[in-house]
Amino acid sequence: MSSLLIDNIGSLVTNAPDVGQGALGLLEDAALVIEDGLVAWAGPRALVPEGAARERFDAGGRAVIPGFVDSHAHLVFAGDRTSEFEARMSGRAYTAGGIRTTVAATRTATDDELRAGVRRLVGEALRSGTTTIECKSGYGLTVEDEARSLRLAAEQTAEVTYLGAHVVPPEYAGDPDAYVDLVRGAMLDACVPHARWIDVFCERGAFDGDQTRAILTAGKERGLVPRVHAGQLGPGPGVRIAVELGAASADHVTHLSDADVEALASGGTVATLLPGAEFSTRSPYPDARRLLDAGATVALAADCNPGSSYTTNIPFCIALAVRDMNMTPVEALRAATMGGAQALRRTDVGHLAPGARADFVLLDAPSHVHLAYRPGVPLVARVWKDGVPG
Ligand code: NIG
Ligand code: FE
């Protein structure tokens, strides 16, 4: 049995209110015991249980937090969209149509090129503290290219999402309903073996309410669990459909009616906020306070993709959420860890109570508050995944 003691932790976030103080389950002058890749014990240093010979790591009085759980990412693609970003920063608006540029590049890429891209981004995310990451397809949009995107994603993460309904590809521009039939027919058949989730970009310029419902229902019948891109660019029926179909998460949720907020607060669907997208499209941020004050469960994710948010960096998203979305540092950290886990319906990650996976991050800071207080500073000193240091 491998056993590791993380000792001399100045401030430990467990996200377990029965282990420490408040919503973050905070402990000061703490220690963690890791056994066989899982948290065996978390508590005050003075009370570390006797145990077998352990390796000891001295945290030097710094902060330790759970690894970030990034529940929304689009990592399987080729090329980038630098010039689109540059044009946007000169005043051009973001539209769903830019996705087609990446689809063209992705279709001509080899498996090895796409694999290398996913690996690079998953590694980049890990170095900034993300120990669990979801990954969508959506830049292939043929039966073969969607299935291979999911297959390549599944090589690097268990949280794989079929997003054949990202946008209607050019060859179906004249007959979008035929594309919807493909997405819920032969493409779904080819993708089901590789995916856990099904997603639809429900938005003007992408898929409407009827199309969204038809696709998600077909996915559900095949055992996939829905998640929905809803209300990113304008109001629409996405949240209503997400809650109605028992989706794990409604993502973006920037444009919400009162009924949407109420549905999220009273249903089991997590509201996932993606401030990197508003930052990179120069758009108004979602109203996090409205959701939190209504009682909705909120997750924060990076939405890494080449069009609207080309970042894997969750500390950056936390800083945006605190500074520009009026979330408290506690709410933002909780949303980026436990919230992400809830959006992925995972109970083994996002917290550091005994039995959890030993996925945690040592910060070069005395407290988690520094993630927002010191924006842009690389505070992630070391990352452990399944008890193994990166
Ligand atoms: O989450 N909204 C749809 N999908 C991505 C954008 C994809 C793209 O622009 O390539 C998003 O923002
Ligand atoms: Fe997205």
How many Cβ atoms are within 10 Å of 56's Cβ, its own excluded? 12
Residues of the chain with CATH 3.20.20.140: 68-343
**Residue 262 and residue 77: Cα distance in Å, rounded?**
36
**Residue 301 and residue 215: Cα distance in Å, rounded?**
24
At residue 91, does pLDDT exceed 80? Answer: yes
Check residue 107 and give its pLDDT. 98
Give the pair of three-digit tokens for residue 194.
């590789």
pLDDT band (50, 70, 90) for residue 32: very high
At residue 132, does pLDDT exceed 70? Answer: yes
Q: Amino acid letter at 46?
A: A
Stretch 103-123: mean pLDDT:
98
With H, G, I as helix, E, B as strand and everything else as coil, classify residue 268.
coil
Residue whose Cα lies nearest atom 9 of ligand 1: it is: 307
Mean pLDDT of the chain: 97
pLDDT for 52-87, tens place per residue? 668 999 999 999 999 999 999 999 999 999 999 999
What CATH number belongs to 3-67+351-389? 2.30.40.10
Check residue 54 and give its pLDDT. 86
Three-state secondary structure readout of 331-380: HHHHHHHHHHHHHCCCCCCCCCCCCCECCEEEECCCCCCHHHHCCCCCCE
Residues of the chain with CATH 2.30.40.10: 3-67+351-389
Check residue 1 and give its pLDDT. 74
Give the pair of three-digit tokens for residue 350.
């996002």
Closest-lying ligand 1 atom to the alpha carbon of residue 307: 9
Q: Residues 259, 240: contact at Cβ < 8 Å?
A: yes
**Residue 11 and residue 22: Cα distance in Å, rounded?**
13
Check residue 52 and give its pLDDT. 66
Percent of the chain with pLDDT over 90: 97
Distance 26 CA to ligand 2 centre (A): 32
Is the CB–ligand 1 distance for residue 303 below 6 Å?
Answer: yes
Check residue 121 and give its pLDDT. 98
pLDDT for 144-177, tens place per residue? 999 999 999 999 999 999 999 999 999 999 999 9
Is the CB–ligand 1 distance for residue 231 below 6 Å?
Answer: no
**Residue 40 and residue 21: Cα distance in Å, rounded?**
19
pLDDT for 308-348, tens place per residue? 999 999 999 999 999 999 999 999 999 999 999 999 999 99
Half-sphere exposure at residue 95, Cβ-oriented, CA atoms within 13 angstroms: 10
Please report where in the chains the tokens 């969209």 appear, as a residue. 81
Distance 155 CA to ligand 2 centre (A): 20
Beta strands in the chain (DSSP E): 3-13, 26-35, 38-44, 55-58, 63-66, 68-70, 130-136, 159-165, 197-202, 225-230, 249-252, 270-273, 298-300, 360-363, 380-385, 388-389
Distance 184 CA to ligand 2 centre (A): 20
Give the pair of three-digit tokens for residue 31.
């220690």
Predicted structure pTM score: 0.98
Of the candidates 384, 383, 275, the residue with the CA atom closest to the CA atom of residue 336 = 275
Percent of the chain with pLDDT over 70: 99
Q: Residues 64, 9: contact at Cβ < 8 Å?
A: yes
Q: Ligand 1 pocket check: which of 70, 71, 74, 249 to mutate, most ligand atoms within 8 Å of Cβ?
A: 74
Q: Amino acid letter at 52?
A: A
Give the ligand whose atoms come closest to the C-alpha of residue 279. Answer: 1
pLDDT for 233-243, tens place per residue? 999 999 999 99
Q: Ligand 1 pocket check: which of 207, 228, 229 to mutate, most ligand atoms within 8 Å of Cβ?
A: 229
Check residue 2 and give its pLDDT. 84
* β-bridge partners, 26: 13, 21
Is the CB–ligand 1 distance for residue 339 below 6 Å?
Answer: no
Q: Looking at domain 68-343, does it have CATH number 3.20.20.140?
A: yes
Distance of CA 32 to the CA centre of its chain: 26
**Residue 84 and residue 89: Cα distance in Å, rounded?**
9
